[in-house]
Amino acid sequence: MHQREHASLGSRAMLFLGLVLLWAMLWGQFTVLSVLTGVAISTVVTLVFYLPAIQFSRRLDPARTVYFFVRLAFDIVVASFQVAWIVLRPGTVPHNSIVAVQLRTRSDLITMWVAESLSLVPGSIVVDLDRGESILYLHVLDTDDGRDVERARSRVLGTEERIVRGFGSAHDVALVRGTARPPEADPTPPGTEGER
Amino acid sequence: MSAEWSEAITATFIVVAAFLCAAAGIGLLRLPDVLSRLHAATKPQILGLGLIIVDVAVSNVSIATIAFAIAILFFQGLTAPISAHMVGRAAYRGDHVRRDLLVTDELADAVSRADERSGRGDSGDDSASDESPESR
């Protein structure tokens, strides 16, 4: 497995602070007591529910990150009404498809962000995920023909690009721009082979 | 902001949110299979819930409410896709998919490729392709 090193002290501290903040938010108050109990609970949680280290990219482009979130909110609003229309329109049954999309990043965190934000936007669900090869398998609602499938594919790659440009590593940015090659030789991209 | 304006915004948000939640319910009944019903069940409802929460935060401004609203949105945004993914994955593997409604199924291609690579693909096409690559 790749990217399984120990997390740096910095990224651990960030996660810990995040937990404390979350605890205070759940209580709805930022007092000494809520912060102290938050520190205690977070210590127990990080010790008991140990998770593999997250690799932060240590790169953040604030403007592009904000753009990603604004665009995500916009997509959610537009697509919610699209799905509502698909549901309510009389007659036709929607034709769907399962699309495989080869991502360019190999980062677990970025793959997670892409999968999460795609699932939040109505019209696509991540059915399966190939972690080693970073391939997402999406169920896409209402695709009538190959053109709709290709549109869904380019939407996924666009989402990946916005996320990587926002807070992906410099190497991922180069991958998205096409100025660097993926680590291992890619097999034929899924979906371009002959059908069985 | 005057009270009338905030009342108007509140009313609009709640009506839109109710419409989206209703659409989610109708979608559960009308759509043909598990995977497409998931779209209706999880998606319009996220925006519907989001609108109602924003509404509560706008009409009742305090640090506690806003912090709580952010936490709810955060968890809803984080967990809804995961539960949708788990149900979708189970539905696909349990074969609760209307394959006649699929335009393409590139996951089936990948599954049969994986079967071939591990030397299990020649035992019969369809039964083999329903197995997941890592199910054994």
In a domain, A130, yes or no: yes
3-state secondary structure A151-190: HHHHHHHHHHHHHHHHHCCHHHHHHHHCCCCCCCCCCCCC
CB contact under 8 A, A120 and B81: yes
Mean pLDDT of all residues in B102-124 = 68
Q: Do A128 and A175 fall into the same domain?
A: yes
**DSSP-assigned beta bridge partners for residue A96:** B102
In this prediction, residue A178 has a pLDDT band, given cuts at 50, 70 and 90, of: confident
CB contact under 8 A, B71 and A22: yes
In a domain, B119, yes or no: no
Give the pLDDT confidence score for residue A71 in this predicted structure: 92
Domain that holds residue A79: 59-187
Give the pLDDT confidence score for residue B132 in this predicted structure: 45
CB contact under 8 A, A96 and B27: no
Residues of A in contact with B103 (CB under 8 A): 95-97, 143-146, 148-149
Query: How far is residue A168 CA from its own chain's centroid?
Result: 11
Count each helix (H run) and each strand (E run) in chain A, helices first. Answer: 6, 3
B42 against B48, higher pLDDT = B48
- Name the domain count of chain B: 1
Are B52 and B31 within 8 A, CB to CB?
no
CB contact under 8 A, B81 and A127: no
Q: Do A78 and A142 fall into the same domain?
A: yes
Q: Do A183 and A108 fall into the same domain?
A: yes
Helix (H), strand (E) at residue A88? helix A62-88
Residues of A in contact with B25 (CB under 8 A): none
Mean pLDDT of all residues in A144-173 = 85
CB contact under 8 A, B47 and A193: no
Residues of B in contact with A80 (CB under 8 A): 20, 43-44, 46-48
Nearest CA in chain B to A150: B104
**Is the pLDDT at A188 greater than 60, yes or no?**
no
pTM of the model: 0.73
Mean pLDDT of all residues in A78-84 = 85
- Read off the DSSP letter of residue A140: E
Q: Using CB atoms, pick whichever of A80, A86, A126 lies closest to residue B85.
A: A126
A130 against A191, higher pLDDT = A130
CATH number (domain holding residue B45): 1.10.287
Range ranked top by mean pLDDT from A29-33, A34-38, A90-94, A169-173: A34-38
CB contact under 8 A, B63 and A30: yes
In this prediction, residue B130 has a pLDDT band, given cuts at 50, 70 and 90, of: very low
Burial degree of B39 (CB within 10 A; 0-12, 13-18, 19+): buried
Ranges A123-132, B38-47, B86-95: which has the least confidence: B38-47
CB contact under 8 A, A24 and B67: yes
Are A147 and A107 within 8 A, CB to CB?
no
**Is the pLDDT at A146 greater than 50, yes or no?**
yes
Residues of B in contact with A141 (CB under 8 A): 36, 39
Helix (H), strand (E) at residue A139? strand A135-140
With tokens 């706008």, the residue in question is B58
With tokens 């955060």, the residue in question is B74
- Name the domain count of chain A: 2
Give the pLDDT confidence score for residue B127 in this predicted structure: 41
Residue A10, Cβ neighbours under 10 Å: how many?
Answer: 10
Mean pLDDT of all residues in B22-39 = 84
**Is the pLDDT at A17 greater than 80, yes or no?**
yes
In a domain, B127, yes or no: no
Q: Using CB atoms, pick whichever of A97, A125, A128 lies closest to residue B104.
A: A97
Q: Do A149 and A99 fall into the same domain?
A: yes
**DSSP-assigned beta bridge partners for residue A136:** A101, A129
Q: Do A176 and A131 fall into the same domain?
A: yes
Give the pLDDT confidence score for residue A70 in this predicted structure: 92
Q: Do A146 and A129 fall into the same domain?
A: yes
Please give the Cα distance from A159 to A121 (Å, whole number): 11
In this prediction, residue A185 has a pLDDT band, given cuts at 50, 70 and 90, of: very low
Percent above pLDDT 90 for chain B: 0
In a domain, B9, yes or no: yes
3-state secondary structure B59-87: HCCCHHHHHHHHHHHHHHHHHHHHHHHHH
